[in-house]
Amino acid sequence: MSTTPEGEPGVTAPGWTAADIPALDGRTFIVTGGNSGLGFETCRALAAKGAQVVLAARDPEKGAAAVERIRAEHPDATVETRVLDLADLDSVEVFAAGIHEVDVLVNNAGVMMPPRTTSAQGYELQFAVNHLGHFALTARLLDVLSQGADPRVVTVTSFLHRRGRIHFDDLHGEHKYSRTGYYSQSKLANVVFGLELHRRLRLNNVPITSVLAHPGYAATNLQSAGPTGIMKLAMKVSNRLAAQDAGMGALPQLYAAVSQDVDGGQLIGPDGRKEQKGYPTVVHPLESARDRELAKRLWDTSEELTELSFGLAAR
């Protein structure tokens, strides 16, 4: 990996694509939400390079279908599906208990702008799936990851994190709920978590790299699965006119997962205008996402809500 100061742009390879992924034989990757969209493209690209891929999916039938699609294209691929429902912390516990080897965890799965819904534990769905489920999964896999080869945690966020704030006074939207506001909250939580995880791993000398990635504006089923009504129609039109395809959208998280030019604490996104399209490069997160008090409060709150501790000293 490169050795640039924390948060500073490192050297990236212009025009980097999945074809530039090195051989991954002997390495194990877990990709959440691997049955569709960015997750599927990530699984497919990793499997094509010889990685052992665990495709985590909420729906076992959709997971199995995704595995068959990959094997049809790459008959020798080592890929399997396992059930993981990030909206249920009990499912996260069961999934993690079955993992005994992993080198890279790609926290990719997400939900986007649904009507207000709650998780199995009663938390607002976007915050529960996009942040808390991945927070809990990372905590439960931390010891296994630390034994991996070049172990990494890649947390996938969105450029919409820049519009977010953490509503600590109404974390689950019980009093005033906005689909876009609470989506942006969850994506900001991803960034705050990924940066704070990097800081605590380094402080505690744990040999795991925490990296962030965002896809820009990529056309996936995420825009149609959550939104309803006029919002759903508007996103359908926007996808056709403005978005890049899921294969391009997956490149930043692939780069974050495999490139030796990546540093912990970096955010990888598209190199095009407004970071909406393009090839992977280092970009900057919202500056307030680096606020130490915000990070501590979110971390403590997340440990309380998940009833889990990373066991990583904060200072």
pLDDT value of position 227: 57
Average pLDDT, stretch 48-65?
Answer: 98
With a cut of 50, say whether residue 238 has pLDDT above it.
no
Q: What is the pLDDT of residue 237?
A: 43
Average confidence (pLDDT) over 215-226 = 68
10 domain-assigned? no
Give pLDDT, residue 162: 97
For β-strands 267-270 and 280-283, DSSP reports them as antiparallel
pLDDT of 127:
98
User: In the prediction, which pLDDT does 221 show?
Assistant: 67
pLDDT band per the 50, 70, 90 thresholds, residue 268? very high
Mean pLDDT of 231-239: 46
Domain for residue 14, yes or no?
no
The better pLDDT of the pair 224, 129 is held by 129
Please indicate, yes or no, if residue 122 is contained in any of the structural domains: yes
Mean pLDDT, rounded, for 133-143: 98
Q: Is 279 a catalytic residue?
A: no
Mean pLDDT of 291-301: 98
Active-site position among 123, 182, 183, 217: 183
| Closest to 46 in 3D by CA, of 208, 218, 253 | 253
- The tokens describing 188, both together, are 């900001």
CB atoms within 10 A of CB 176: 9
* pTM attached to this predicted model: 0.90
pLDDT of 224 strictly over 70: no
Does 314 map to a domain?
A: no
Quick check: 193 pLDDT over 80? yes
- Give the pLDDT mean for 85-96: 98
Q: Is there a domain that residue 135 lies in?
A: yes
Give the mean model confidence (pLDDT) for residues 86-97: 98
**pLDDT > 70? residue 3:** no
> What pLDDT band is residue 159 in, cutting at 50, 70 and 90?
very high
Q: How confident is the model at residue 14 (pLDDT cuts 50, 70, 90)?
A: confident
16 assigned to some structural domain? no
Q: How far apart are CA 66 and CA 36, in angstroms?
A: 7
Asked if residue 88 is part of any domain, the answer here is yes
The Cα-based distances of 143 to 21, 140, 202 in angstroms read: 26, 7, 15
Mean pLDDT of all residues in 49-58:
98
* C-alpha of 215 from chain center: 10
In this prediction, residue 218 carries a pLDDT of 81
- 89: enclosing H helix or E strand: helix 89-97
Confidence (pLDDT) at 302: 98
| Domain that includes residue 284, residue range | 24-306
The alpha carbons of the chain give a radius of gyration, in whole angstroms, of 18
Res 308 pLDDT > 50: yes
Which contiguous run of DSSP H or E holds residue 301?
helix 292-306
| 254 occurs within a structural domain | yes
The domain tally of the chain equals: 1
CATH of the domain at 93: 3.40.50.720
Does the pLDDT at position 5 exceed 70? no
Report pLDDT for 315. 82
Query: Can you give the pLDDT at residue 2?
Result: 43
The angle formed by the CA atoms of residues 184, 195 and 187, to the nearest 5 degrees, is 10
